Homo-oligomer: A and B are copies of this chain.
Amino acid sequence: MIRDTRADLYVLPELCFTGYAFRSKQEAMDLAESVSDSFSLNHIRELASEHKCGIIYGFAELSGEKVYNSCCFVSPDGGHYIYRKLHLYYQEKEWFSPGDKPLGLVEFRGCRIGMMICFDWIFPEVARSLALMGAHLICHPSNLVMRYCQTTMVTRCVENTVFAVTANRIGRETRGEYDFDFTGGSQILSVRGDILYDGSRDKEEIGIADINFRESEDKRINPKNDLWNDRRPEFYRVN
């Protein structure tokens, strides 16, 4: 029996059409796609329209002479919204330009979705900023290689009372001088950090969970603590 995998929203990994590793910036440019003329975006649009769903996927975005490590939300009506990764990991700095657009949300069927990519997980400000803007759900296309990312995403949900989906890659990629082992373990997490879906470390899977995204609007964790009202920003340092 094949489990029904119909969903309102699908999240795919980071750079899911090109692979993660490039020999050079030129190779990244050659494989990158401009949003105005993107074979993969057009194909994803067709899928989103046919299946009446939202789809988030990571891709190499060409814009002028720059390549960004981006992800894109596509709605069934063909609309799209792009996030450019703010924090580049390791060799990505050779291939990509750092994100240059403000963090933002996209609303889909009432759910406010924030996006971050892979290594953004280690900077608490990313999920925090998205949550303060009102995100119900953080979608997190990834090609993770460091330990503690999956654990940290539990923290990101608990501290922000948001849902999160990490779509991570499995397997190994060797290209030029680079060798990456991806940790798999995709996950869907609740606002309390419960693991609603715990993906395989080494097999391709589709994980599904039903969430009531409105739960993230209530920042109370008990009758006297509201994680938003209890904040003391006047005491926090940004730099």
Contact = CB atoms under 8 A, between A and B. Distances in A.
Interface of A: 86-91, 93, 98-99, 102-103, 119, 122-126, 128-129, 132-133, 146, 148, 151-152, 154-155, 158-159, 193, 221-225, 227, 230-233, 235-239
A216 B58 CA distance: 33
30 contacts: A87-B230, A87-B232, A89-B225, A90-B224, A90-B225, A93-B224, A99-B235, A103-B237, A119-B225, A122-B158, A122-B221, A124-B124, A125-B128, A125-B236, A125-B237, A126-B236, A128-B236, A128-B237, A129-B235, A146-B221, A148-B154, A148-B193, A151-B155, A152-B158, A152-B159, A155-B155, A233-B238, A233-B239, A236-B238, A238-B238
Contacts of A237: 103, 125, 128-129, 132-133
Contacts of A232: 86-87, 98-99, 123
A150 to B, nearest CB: 11
A144 to B, nearest CB: 13
Contacts of A91: 224
Contacts of A93: 224
Nearest to A86: B232
B159 A90 contact: no
A221 B223 CA distance: 40
A71 to B, nearest CB: 16
Contacts of A87: 230, 232
Contact of A123 (B122, B159, B223): B159
A18 to B, nearest CB: 20
A177 B116 CA distance: 44
